[in-house]
Amino acid sequence: MSGDKPKGAVEVIHPPNKIKARVGPAGKGMDPNLLARAEAAMAKAQEQVDFPAQALPELNRAAEAVSLLLSDRDNQTKHLNTLFNIVHDLRGGGGNFGYPLITRIGSMLCRYLEGRTSVGMAEVEVLRSLVDAMRAIVTNKLKGDGGTVGQELCAGLERLVG
């Protein structure tokens, strides 16, 4: 960082386009055939991932963090961060591996935690329900939109988090 510049000074740099030089002059935009090939390969790779096996231990850790919010109140901020990080990672993966409900509920939880540095009994109940719902989804391998059960569950949780 250049700390000796006059206040408000802006230097604009045009670095060489190394990537363009690397890929060469030929080509323009996206090649639809290449894109179709990549989408097909990705779909195949997604099917091979056992998302519940990966997610369940993480959700068990999340449930433990929720319990610690009450039993270790002095370190609530730490446990809230742990909870956020676990669920944030899962919400990122859920949509890619056939579990969009995990993304949907995980997003509810992350939004619910935004701006909170401490929680009381009521909030812990809400957080526990969100984590329990995600655990139930992966335990029952509720893929896709989860059908009627999944939709009702999400609608209830959305009312709960407001």
Partner 1 sequence: MMGYRLDRLAVLIVDDNQHMRSLVRTILESLGVSQIMEARDGAHALEKMSQTQVDLLVADWNMEPMDGLDLTRHLRTSPESPDQFVPVIMLSGHTERARVMQARDAGVTEFMAKPVSARSLYARIVSIIENPRPFVRTNDYFGPDRRRQMLPFEGPDRRKAPGSDTAKPGQPLTGDQQAALKRTKDAIKSMQKS
- In the range 92-151, which residues lie near partner 1 by CB under 8 A? 92-97, 103, 106-107, 110-112, 114-123, 125-126, 129, 132-133, 136-137, 139-140, 142, 149
The residue count for binding partner 1 (CB under 8 A) is 84
Using CB under 8 A as the binding rule, the residues of this chain from 54 to 83 that contact partner 1 are 54
Q: State both tokens at 3.
A: 């700390």
Task: Report the alpha-carbon angle 79-81-84, nearest 5.
Answer: 110
Q: Which is nearer to partner 1, 66 or 157 (CB)?
A: 157
Closest approach, Cβ 142 to partner 1, in A, equals 8
| Phi–psi pair at 126, nearest 5 degrees | -65, -45
Closest approach, Cβ 95 to partner 1, in A, equals 3
Closest approach, Cβ 145 to partner 1, in A, equals 14
d(CA 107, CA 154): 11
CA dist list (Å): 65 to 58, 68, 121:
11, 5, 14
Cβ-based neighbours of 60, under 8 Å, separated by 6 or more: 135
Interacting residue with partner 1 among 49, 60, 77, 145 (CB under 8 A): 49
Closest approach, Cβ 56 to partner 1, in A, equals 14
Burial degree of 64 (CB within 10 A; 0-12, 13-18, 19+): middle
Using CB under 8 A as the binding rule, the residues of this chain from 8 to 47 that contact partner 1 are 8-15, 17-20, 22-24, 26-32, 34-35, 37-42, 45-46
Closest approach, Cβ 78 to partner 1, in A, equals 14
CB-CB contact of 113 with 52 (8 Å): no
Q: Which is nearer to partner 1, 6 or 64 (CB)?
A: 6
